[in-house]
Chains A and B, each alone.
Chain A
Amino acid sequence: MIEDSQDERELLDGLRAGDESVFEQMVTTLHPAMIRVALIHVSDRAAAEDVVQDTWLAVVRGLTGFEGRSSLRSWIFSILLNQARSAGGRDRRTLPLRSQWRADRAPAVDSGQFVSGRGPDAGRWVSPVVAWSELPEARLLARESMDHITALIAALPPRQRDAVMVRDVLGLPAAEAAVRLRQTEPAHRVFLHRGRHAMRAALTRRREEDR
């Protein structure tokens, strides 16, 4: 919906013209992602609903002043992050600095999974990579409940978690995500890489447990 600039232009025009159906459609479209983000920072569903509701009210109030220097989606999510962070406050899960440091520097994929040394097989996978069945995401989601995935995201080290949220859950482009997170794009990509791989590893473990 809010993917390209043409759509964004039309959306913004609709909102400024007071078109309620445009507003309602935007709320409905973005709501699930916003709840996911809020749930990372506050402890329960009701609190997340409140944060999202407050965010929409702030969006409504701020719409006239919105100058379109960032995308509408990105602007809305920056308001959401502020609301969620202040609502989450001391509750927010954080890792001790030392383990954060370790988590952000460990290789994305455990080096034990590759053949070491300098032989002809060096750098190859030690054991075959199991092919995941090519189910559409919708069917996978039926198995991996959304709440479970949200809990996995919340358990990531903060910078990996933020990268995964902004890029994959919210779907912002790399350049915009880096600006939002106040990182260079390459640095952002490192956190994203690690976060995605931690998620992949967690999902792999679950598949093995299911068997």
Chain B
Amino acid sequence: MTTGRPRTCRELVESSTAYLDGVLGPQEARLFEEHLAGCTDCAAYLTQLRTTIGLLRATGSGSMRVADVDALLAAFRAERTAGDVSGP
């Protein structure tokens, strides 16, 4: 399926998500990395892609005040009491 032919920039871009997911075959991964090692544009591109993913990830983390954590704790407590038939 794979050949030993060096990868082009375009092919590197096309397989970048699979590469980051670690699902490229060993030979494909090697060709990907060989191209990357010798190509500053693709290195810059992969950094952009990683940064984009990092930004997306960061939107889903960090601290944020929970509007009504007390109400949730009360519900948690109430459910626990209602459902607890086996406890001491």
Q: Which residue of B lies closest to A199 (CB)?
A: B52
Instruction: Tell me, yes or no, whether A81 is within 8 Å of chain B by CB.
Output: no
Contact among A18, A137, A192 with B51 in the assembled complex (CB-CB below 8 Å):
A137
Interface residues of A in 173-211 (CB under 8 A from B): 174, 185, 189, 192-193, 196-197, 199-200, 203-204
A191 to chain B, nearest CB (A): 10
Do B79 and A63 touch across chains, with their CB atoms under 8 A apart?
yes
Q: Which residue of B lies closest to A135 (CB)?
A: B51
Complex Cα gap A134–B47 (Å): 8
Q: Which residue of A lies closest to B8 (CB)?
A: A123
Q: If A123-B10, A125-B41 touch, does A192 touch B17 (CB 8 Å cutoff)?
A: yes
Q: What are the residues of chain B within 8 A of A203 when measuring CB–CB?
A: 48, 52, 55
A2 to chain B, nearest CB (A): 12
Q: Which residue of B lies closest to A46 (CB)?
A: B67
- How many B residues have CB within 8 A of the partner chain? 47
Q: Which residue of A lies closest to B46 (CB)?
A: A129
Q: If A24-B69, A131-B44, A189-B21 touch, does A60 touch B75 (CB 8 Å cutoff)?
A: yes
Do B17 and A56 touch across chains, with their CB atoms under 8 A apart?
no
B14 to chain A, nearest CB (A): 7
- How many A residues have CB within 8 A of the partner chain? 60
B18 to chain A, nearest CB (A): 6
Q: What are the residues of chain B within 8 A of A53 when measuring CB–CB?
A: 67-68, 71-72
Q: What are the residues of chain A within 8 A of B49 when measuring CB–CB?
A: 196-197, 200
**22 contacting pairs across A/B (C-beta < 8 A):** A18-B80, A20-B77, A24-B69, A31-B64, A31-B66, A32-B62, A32-B64, A33-B59, A36-B60, A53-B71, A57-B75, A64-B79, A108-B13, A129-B45, A131-B44, A132-B47, A134-B47, A137-B51, A169-B56, A171-B57, A174-B23, A196-B53
Which residues of chain A have a CB within 8 Å of any CB of chain B? 18, 20, 23-24, 27-29, 31-33, 35-36, 49, 53, 56-57, 60-61, 63-64, 107-109, 111, 114, 122-125, 128-132, 134, 137-138, 140-141, 144, 146, 149-150, 153, 164, 168-171, 174, 185, 189, 192-193, 196-197, 199-200, 203-204
For the complex of A and B, the 4 pairs showing the least CB-CB separation, nearest first, are A123-B8, A33-B60, A168-B56, A193-B17
